[in-house]
């Protein structure tokens, strides 16, 4: 492998430790409500990791574990209570939600000041308007990783593969804000290989193991793999064909231990930011 790895875990841990120190110094008592509906095993793991991060950063976590039979009305009633609770500065609703609940309706019901995932149209709009407030955690974490590795996107050609509301779109907006020239690819994109081959920075957020082929990567490029998939061997893997890509790239993120821990660290960062804003 010739690429250097951009590890997310140690960077995430250092952010959590710094948040803890800042919270203690400022006498802040940030609180995060973590809402889990149903019994999806992957979601349970994510929620557990988020609660652990709360402990490390000294953020209070309030757990709401609801059965899969929960109705949209019941969930919206809980959101209304959390919106009104002064001890709660951030509200996290773990996706996926059961099929009968409209995820967008739930996100829009969250007070944008408590939308620490950064998914509310208000916060996405603020990012689009070059006024980022609570920023979507995964793209925010990716930007922190680039900064940490000393990679300035300004003037670079960036390709984002994936255009979802929670990753691909806000990722493109973050890169644009950092003055990259951004191409966003999705399932209707033609000749994806040539788009990726032109990129100085590639961000893959598709949700398909090894989907971005290593031979597409421009030599010396930076490759950020957001994907978290279960491979045929049962192990976690990303969206990028890591073995080949890491021979060509200058920088690459591993899966696991790359973007995942940074997403959680940015959730904590946003919760502290929301708590500070509430105190003003």
Q: What are the catalytic residues?
A: 50, 94, 117
Nearer Cβ to ligand NDP (132/238): 238
User: Minimum distance between the CB of residue 155 and ligand NDP, rounded to whole angstroms?
Assistant: 25
11 binds ligand NDP (CB under 6 A): no
User: DSSP character for 96?
Assistant: P
| Residue pointed to by tokens 């709009």 | 125
227 binds ligand NDP (CB under 6 A): yes
168 binds ligand NDP (CB under 6 A): yes
Cα distance between residue 126 and residue 264, in whole Å: 21
Stretch that binds ligand NDP, among 55-63, 77-85, 113-121, 162-170 (CB under 6 A): 162-170
Tokens linked to 199? 């990129």
- Yes or no: say if 202 and 217 are a contact pair by the CB < 8 Å rule: yes
Nearer Cβ to ligand NDP (23/38): 38
Q: Is the dihedral of CA 46, 131, 172, 15 positive or negative?
A: negative
Burial of 129 from C-beta contacts in 10 A (0-12 / 13-18 / 19+): exposed
Stretch that binds ligand NDP, among 102-110, 121-129, 144-152, 157-165 (CB under 6 A): 157-165
186 binds ligand NDP (CB under 6 A): yes
206 binds ligand NDP (CB under 6 A): yes
Residue 256 preceded by cis peptide, ω within 30: yes
Residue 268 contacts by C-beta under 8 Å, 6 or more apart in sequence? 15, 16, 19, 32, 53, 54, 57, 59
Nearer Cβ to ligand NDP (46/113): 46
- Yes or no: say if 235 and 214 are a contact pair by the CB < 8 Å rule: no
User: Minimum distance between the CB of residue 63 and ligand NDP, rounded to whole angstroms?
Assistant: 20
Residues near ligand NDP (CB under 6 A) are 138, 161-164, 166-168, 185-189, 192, 205-207, 226-229, 259-260, 263
């Amino acid at each position: 492998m010739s690429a250097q790895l951009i590890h997310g875990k140690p960077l995430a841990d250092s952010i959590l430790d710094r948040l803890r120190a800042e919270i203690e110094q400022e006498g802040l008592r940030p609180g995060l409500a973590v809402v889990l509906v149903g019994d999806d095993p992957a979601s349970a793991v994510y929620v557990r990791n988020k609660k652990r991060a709360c402990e490390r950063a000294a953020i209070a976590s309030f757990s709401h574990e609801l059965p899969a039979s929960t109705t949209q009305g019941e969930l919206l009633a809980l959101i209304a209570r959390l919106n009104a609770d002064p001890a709660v500065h951030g509200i996290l609703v773990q996706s996926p939600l059961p099929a009968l609940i409209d995820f967008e309706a739930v996100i829009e019901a969250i007070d944008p000041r408590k939308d620490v995932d950064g998914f509310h149209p208000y916060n996405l709009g603020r990012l689009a308007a070059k006024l980022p407030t609570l920023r979507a955690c995964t793209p925010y974490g990716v930007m922190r990783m680039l900064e940490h590795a000393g990679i300035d996107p300004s003037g670079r050609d960036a390709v984002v593969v994936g255009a979802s509301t929670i990753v691909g779109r806000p990722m493109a907006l973050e890169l644009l804000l950092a003055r990259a020239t951004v191409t966003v690819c999705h399932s209707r994109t033609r000749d994806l290989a040539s788009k990726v081959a032109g990129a100085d920075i590639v961000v893959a957020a598709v949700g398909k193991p090894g989907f971005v082929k290593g031979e597409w990567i421009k030599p010396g490029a930076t490759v950020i793999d957001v994907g978290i998939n279960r491979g045929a061997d049962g192990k976690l893997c990303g969206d990028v064909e890591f073995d080949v890509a890491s021979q060509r790239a200058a920088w690459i993120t591993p899966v696991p231990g790359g973007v995942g821990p940074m997403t959680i660290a940015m959730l904590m960062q946003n919760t502290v930011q929301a708590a500070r804003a509430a105190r003003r």
